[in-house]
Amino acid sequence: MQSRKMILWVSVAVLCAYFAIALCAPLLSPYGPTEIVGNPFQSPGNGHPLGTNDLGQDIFSQLVYGARITLLFGFCAALLSVLISTSVGIVIGYYGGLPDEIVSRLIDVFMPVPMFPLLIVLTAFFSPGVLQISILMGILGSIYGIRIIRSQVLSLAQTSFVEGARAIGASDFHIMFRHILPNVMPVVMVKFVSSSQRLLLMGVGLSFIGLWDTTTVDWGTMIQNSYSSGGMSLGLWWWLLPPGIAVIGISLALAMIGYSFEEKFNPRVGVNRL
């Protein structure tokens, strides 16, 4: 019990640290992320805490500025996906009927399609920017969530407090907003944390493949650059490891927070996942 609480708080602290770094990027980094400020392939030290890359850009500055882009698309996409899945799930679950049928069948069609390959195809077609990618990921990521929320709403719509509110003439909006939404909030929270982790990793993956604007610096492009310019074979660990560790750190923190939330809100889930 105690150790699980510790893990949660450490994870939250790590997450806060990432956000603080992203917010204070200009204060923390000595140079701009795309500025050429030194000789190529400089090892750490000498005014470059993490050395420089093949173009002589400061890797520490890239790492710090990269946090902005990476967190931005991860959380934007997760927020959007949760917004879509909650609103659509509540509305179709509550009203049922034809719209519910149509959306459910559409979900059945999209569910078996693996999301990452689909994203690769779509980004290859539209070559979108960071914001458009987030929107795309948000929409695709909401599919599973709609199903979960909808099923919850179906059973909530049968409860006596919902029927009672309807019996005395409460508006549908009142029932959905005041009675149903607070009841699905735990699921929504868990979904938000877990999908922000999933979508953040997916975004890093996409930028690693190099399917979007490669001039924006984020952790995926950093890893991609180091990989394609032979950073690994040259043994330039300071180029590859920092963005890699940064990605692992945040996705671990988010996963742990997600598990703790899930255990808190749904005590029947196994306790041995940590």
Partner 1 sequence: MNLISIAGLCVRFPTRSECIRAVDTIDLEIARGDHVALIGESGCGKTVLGMAVMGLLPENARIRGTVRYRERDLLLAGEPDMQRIRGKEIAMIMQNSANSLNPVIPVGSQVAEPLMIHGILPAEAAYKEAIRLLAAMGFNLPERAAGRYPHEFSGGMRERILVAIALACQPDIVIADEPTSGLDAQVKSQILHLIKKQMADRTLLLITHDMGAAHFLCTRIAVMYAGEIVEEGPTHDILSLPMHPYTQGLLASLPSAGLHPIPGMSPSPAHLPDGCRFCSRCPSATARCSTEHPPVNVRGSRRVRCFHYD
Contact positions vs partner 1 (CB under 8 A)? 159-161, 163-165, 167-170, 174, 178-179, 182-183, 185
CB of 177 to partner 1, least distance (A): 12
CB of 157 to partner 1, least distance (A): 13
Nearer to partner 1, 170 or 209 (CB): 170
Q: What is the DSSP string of 141-160?
A: HHHHHHHHHHHHHHHHTTSH
Burial code (b: 16+ CB inside 10 Å, e: under 16) for 163-199 equals eebeeeeeeeeebbeebbbeebeebbbbbbbbbbbbb
- First CA to last CA distance, the chain: 11
Q: What is the DSSP string of 227-273?
A: HHTTTTTTT-HHHHHHHHHHHHHHHHHHHHHHHHHHHHH-TTS-STT
CB of 169 to partner 1, least distance (A): 3
Nearer to partner 1, 166 or 232 (CB): 166
Nearer to partner 1, 98 or 167 (CB): 167
CB of 261 to partner 1, least distance (A): 16
Nearer to partner 1, 105 or 178 (CB): 178
